[in-house]
Structure 1
Amino acid sequence: MMGSLFSIPDPIALPVTGEDDTYPVGRIFCVGRNYAAHAAEMGHEVDREAPFYFTKAAANAVLSGVTTAYPPGTENFHHEMELAVAIGKPVFQADTSQVQKAVFGFGCALDMTRRDLQIRERNKQRPWDLGKDFENAAVFAPLTRVSDWQPDPQKRIILRVNGETRQDATLDELIWSIDEIISHMSGYYHLRPGDLILTGTPAGVGPVHPGDSLEGEIDGLQPVKLSISDPK
């Protein structure tokens, strides 16, 4: 009988509002530049040709309320507040009229970014992994089922650092809608339960430092919270 040489940590599982069962996380997809104002502040024009994506490892995700150390290798650590979509049923090569039945629920999330490393690698036409996928780089609040919450266009998405508002927008500013994102992505992946999609961040991203406390909100969802400690 064969056995494992060693054990690895179990994948993260997200609480679900009002329930005992949790949502195990399999894959994390992120949509790039999905708010026009954020694309502009990063020096890019809006691209309506097609969405584009990067990924974060589930092993690098943590739950809301944790304290994480300022990460190594960066001098420009940024917050990005996002709406997360949780997939609840398999979906593949679906059009926009078919994808809503695949959604399990929604939640607040933080896409933490080593901005200097992201920009350095992007300028060399290299992958963004050093800037985007590292320990504790994705922070998730509890999910709310789709039956209890809908992403209405005028709902606000807000991020505060030490009580000061940094990001403040509404969901109607998304360039690619949730239905469009899932439909497009399902043309390239067999999406399945456990997949999370971070739908992009509004304008106002910026640096955080040791001692900072972050709190992100989207109207009607559980907030996401993160504290930054000294490097380790």
Structure 2
Amino acid sequence: MTVAQATVPIDEVQVLSPITTNQQFLCQGVNYGSHVRESGMDPADMPFNTFFTKASSSLTGPYDDVVRPNHVKLLDYEIELGLVLGRDLTAGVQVQPDRLHEVLAGITIVNDVSARDVQLPQGQFYKGKSYRTFGPTGPVLLLLEPAEWQRWPELHMQLSVNGQVRQDTYCRDMLHPPHATVSEFSALQNLHAGDLIATGTPAGCAAKAPGKLSMLVANRILSEPTKWKFFIQRGLRNPKYLQPTDVMTLSIRTDDGALDLGSQRSKVIAA
């Protein structure tokens, strides 16, 4: 067989998620100051690292469709840098900023797709983010050399919907950096080689917090069910929420191209 015969065009194969569904899918919330502010909060008032999980069955390939369940109307996107564990951690460790290579293997692109009309009114992060296909991951699992790990703040994240840029920032804007996050997770629970940690998203999501005055009035005069009913009605008028046929394109790379996680492309379809 020649080299040419051994080459298969990428459009003739299905590219799978580089993270397998037997691994843990761990997540950070509100880890970028810009996203905290667009959520109606002050980063100075949030000194704690916020953790939650997604079902590993939500993992899907970087070019697979995202299926919007029939009852979900406020479907949102979140580009995130994914950290992949390089070894088991069954006891707490204090990871130093220059020793990430001792615990992490590589990085990948994650889209933390979210049903806001489930997540927020029901207070259910796991439920609102764990439907099947809500975790497009890849295409690249980039294994980094020790010196390359020091360049994670230079990674440039960008997400577009139908060609319109919605999210555009650098990983240096994280409030809680990778070494602190892995340290805290390891003190909390067992981690295993191949587990995925999604490190939060910057500003630019479809979901936006109402103004402080609106929230003050709503909290004083409306019941919880009524308040969230208005939230959903308001969201239905927001054109940034994802609709069937919308196409999301995600990329993460350094500006010089030395570290490049490829491009992810997912189309939204109705269930």
Q: CA RMSD in A?
A: 2.0
Query: Residue 171 in 1 paired to residue 171 in 2?
Result: yes
Alpha-carbon distance change, 23 to 138 in structure 1, aligned in 2, over 3 angstroms: closer
Determine the C-alpha separation between the residues in 2 that align with 1:152 and 1:84: 11
State the secondary structure of the residue aligned to 1:121: coil
Determine the C-alpha separation between the residues in 2 that align with 1:131 and 1:216: 21
Determine the C-alpha separation between the residues in 2 that align with 1:13 and 1:102: 24
Query: Residue 210 in 1 paired to residue 244 in 2?
Result: yes
Amino acid at match of 2:126: D
Amino acid at match of 2:262: Q
Report if the CA contact (8 A) 2:101-2:145 is conserved: no
Query: Residue 224 in 1 paired to residue 224 in 2?
Result: no
Determine the C-alpha separation between the residues in 2 that align with 1:44 and 1:132: 21
Query: Residue 96 in 1 paired to residue 130 in 2?
Result: no
State the secondary structure of the residue aligned to 2:110: strand
Report if the CA contact (8 A) 1:86-1:105 is conserved: yes
Rg larger in structure: 2
CA shift, 1:116, in A, is: 1.7
Alpha-carbon distance change, 13 to 93 in structure 1, aligned in 2, over 3 angstroms: farther
CA shift, 1:40, in A, is: 1.2
Please identify, of 51-60 and 41-50, the stretch whose mean Cα deviation from structure 2 is larger.
41-50
State the secondary structure of the residue aligned to 1:214: strand
Partner of 1:56: 54
Q: After the TM superposition, which residues 16-31 of structure 1 pair with which residues of structure 2 at under 5 Å, given as runs? A: 25-31=22-28
Query: Residue 129 in 1 paired to residue 126 in 2?
Result: yes
Report if the CA contact (8 A) 1:70-1:210 is conserved: yes
Structure 2 residues not aligned, in runs of 5+: 1-14, 207-240, 254-259
Determine the C-alpha separation between the residues in 2 that align with 1:134 and 1:163: 25
1:157-189 per-residue CA deviation (whole Å, 9 max, x = no partner) reads: 110111110000111100000111000111001
Q: Which structure has greater strand proportion?
A: 1
Partner of 2:32: 35
State the secondary structure of the residue aligned to 2:122: helix
Query: Residue 198 in 1 paired to residue 198 in 2?
Result: yes
State the secondary structure of the residue aligned to 1:223: strand
1:83-102 per-residue CA deviation (whole Å, 9 max, x = no partner) reads: 00000101231112265411
Q: Which structure has greater helix proportion?
A: 2
CA shift, 1:14, in A, is: 3.7
Report if the CA contact (8 A) 1:77-1:112 is conserved: yes
Please identify, of 127-136 and 180-189, the stretch whose mean Cα deviation from structure 2 is larger.
127-136
Amino acid at match of 1:204: G
Query: Residue 153 in 1 paired to residue 150 in 2?
Result: no
Alpha-carbon distance change, 146 to 42 in structure 1, aligned in 2, over 3 angstroms: same
Amino acid at match of 1:64: P
Determine the C-alpha separation between the residues in 1 that align with 2:21 and 2:75: 27
CA shift, 1:48, in A, is: 4.7
The TM-score normalised by the length of structure 1 is 0.84
Q: How many residues align?
A: 210
Amino acid at match of 2:246: D
CA shift, 1:132, in A, is: 1.3
Determine the C-alpha separation between the residues in 1 that align with 2:184 and 2:247: 35
Question: Structure 1 vs Structure 2: percent identity of aligned residues?
Answer: 24
Please identify, of 40-49 and 195-204, the stretch whose mean Cα deviation from structure 2 is larger.
40-49
Structure 1 residues not aligned, in runs of 5+: 1-11, 16-21
Query: Residue 184 in 1 paired to residue 218 in 2?
Result: no
State the secondary structure of the residue aligned to 2:262: coil
Report if the CA contact (8 A) 2:24-2:196 is conserved: yes
The TM-score normalised by the length of structure 2 is 0.72
Query: Residue 118 in 1 paired to residue 98 in 2?
Result: no
Amino acid at match of 2:116: R
Report if the CA contact (8 A) 2:95-2:179 is conserved: yes
Report if the CA contact (8 A) 1:25-1:196 is conserved: no
Alpha-carbon distance change, 14 to 67 in structure 1, aligned in 2, over 3 angstroms: closer
